[in-house]
Amino acid sequence: MEMTRRELLAKSGKFILLTSAAATAWEYVLAGKAEAAPNYDMTKHWWAMVIDIEKCIGCGNCVRACEAENDVPPGYFRTWVERYHVDDWDLEHPQVDSPNGAHDGFPERYKSGGKTFFVPKLCNHCADSPCVQVCPVGATFHTPDGVVLVDQKYCLGCRYCIQACPYGCRFLNPRTNTADKCTLCYHRITKGLTTACCEACPTQARVLADLKNPKDPVHEFLRTHSVQVLKPHMATGAKVFYKNLDGSVR
């Protein structure tokens, strides 16, 4: 049966509209009511992390723990560790590697000369994150307690946020076809636990911090040490603070 252009347009338009509407509505029906964390007041916390470069031994425990805790698909990384090797004064040309995100540690490589160190990386949970700014639908957002999260049921998978992140911490999860990244183990920290990566770190190089808690040791730490954030010129309000981050780190 031949259809007029206008008829075809109108019919297709209605079909697309109603199917999308129905699909979206159905997902909410299926979602149900999830178990909320009792007694957790979002306004009383402001989450951050402190990473001490001098303590990191590149064992990769954090990467493996995160994968176990959050079902991260292999080949994608919510957190990873980079190894930097800097020869003498040439900060602009470090040699960097991260074999499988340091999931299985680092094979020995730089036997002598220069300076070699490890840099764990994860989502910086920026206070002024460019990723939240560009999300077209509100699938990625700031929580009132300072964590940047992705709504897996709302994300379109357009990947704009992945492009907008200066730190490379986002990826498209092939299982959900949505954007994915470190959640600062939101499901743990809202229950009084620490993140999986901090729990698994053998040297306490990574430590979760609650900036709104006056008793948190982070305040003393920030007062008495020099700290840096990654790519400060991007002015993202990054909340992962590194102690003794070398100038060569990208």
Partner 1 sequence: MKEFLRNSEHLLRVVFLLVLGLTAFLLIRWAVVPPEFGKYGHFRPAALDDIRARQVKFAGHQTCEGCHTDVAEEKNKGKHAGVNCEACHGPLARHAEDPGSLLPQLPDTAVLCARCHEANAGKPKSFPQVVTADHSAGLACKTCHQPHTPKIGG
Partner 2 sequence: MHTLLPGVEGYMYPNEIELQWSVLIVLYPYITGLVAGAFILASLERVFKVEAVKPTYRLALLVALAFLLVAPLPLQLHLGHPERSLEMYLTPHRSSAMAMFGFVYLWYLMIVLLMEIWLDYRKNIVEWAESATGVRKWIYRLLTLGSRNVTPAALRIDDRVGYFITLIGIPSAFLLHGYVGFIFGSVKANPWWSTPLMPVVFIFSAMVSGIAAVLLLYMLASKLRGTRIDMRCVDTIARYLLYTFIIDFSLEMLDLIHRLYEADESLRALDFMVHTKLYFSQVILQIFLGTLLPIALLGLTQIAKLSEKARRLIYTTSGCLTLVSILAMRWNVVIGGQLFSKSFLGYTTYKMGFATREGLLPALALLVLPCIILYVLVKLLPPWPENEEQSLARFGRL
Q: What is the full DSSP assignment across 132-191?
A: HHH-SSSSEEE-TTS-EEE-TTT-----HHHHH-TT---EEETTTTEEE---TTHHHHTT
Tokens at 29, concatenated: 């029906």
Q: Is 245 in the site for partner 2 (CB under 8 A)?
A: no
Q: What three-state secondary structure class fits 212?
A: coil
> What whole-number distance in Å separates Cα of residue 135 and Cα of residue 147?
16
Question: What is the C-alpha to C-alpha distance for residues 177 and 155, in angstroms, rounded to an integer?
Answer: 9
The residue within the footprint of partner 1, chosen from 121, 170, 188, 239 (CB under 8 A), is 188
Structure tokens at 201: 């770190």
Among 45, 46, 49, 61, binds partner 1 (CB under 8 A): 61
Q: Is 85 helix (H, G, I), strand (E, B) or coil?
A: strand
Contact characters 146-165, partner 2, x per CB under 8 A: --------xxxxxxx-xxxx
Of positions 57, 96, 227, 229, contacts partner 2 by CB under 8 A: 96
- Window 156-175: contact mask with partner 1 (x via CB under 8 A): --------------------
- The burial of 160, by beta-carbon neighbours within 10 Å (0-12 exposed, 13-18 middle, 19 or more buried), is given as middle
177 makes contact with partner 2 (CB under 8 A): yes
| 144 binding partner 1? (CB under 8 A) | yes
Contact region with partner 2 (CB under 8 A), list: 49-57, 135-143, 185-193, 213-221: 135-143
Number of residues lying near partner 2 (CB under 8 A): 58
Using an 8 Å Cβ cutoff, are 190 and 199 in contact? no
Using CB under 8 A as the binding rule, whether residue 128 contacts partner 1 is answered as no
Round to whole Å and give the CA distance between 144 and 126: 13
Residues 69-108 that bind partner 1 (CB under 8 A): 69-70, 83, 85, 105-106, 108
Closest distance to partner 2 from the beta carbon of 56 (Å) = 17
Contact status: 17 vs partner 1 (CB under 8 A): yes
Q: Which is nearer to partner 1, 107 or 232 (CB)?
A: 107
Q: DSSP readout, 45-57?
A: --EEEEEEGGG--
The strand pair at 148-150 and 47-52 is best described as unpaired
Paired strand residues for 243: 52, 227
Which residues, 48 to 87, sit near partner 2 by CB under 8 A? 76-77, 80, 82
Residues in the site for partner 1, rule: CB under 8 A? 17, 21, 24-25, 28, 31, 33-37, 40, 42, 54-55, 57-61, 65, 68-70, 83, 85, 105-106, 108-112, 116-118, 138-144, 149, 151-154, 183, 186-188, 190-191, 193-194, 196, 199-204
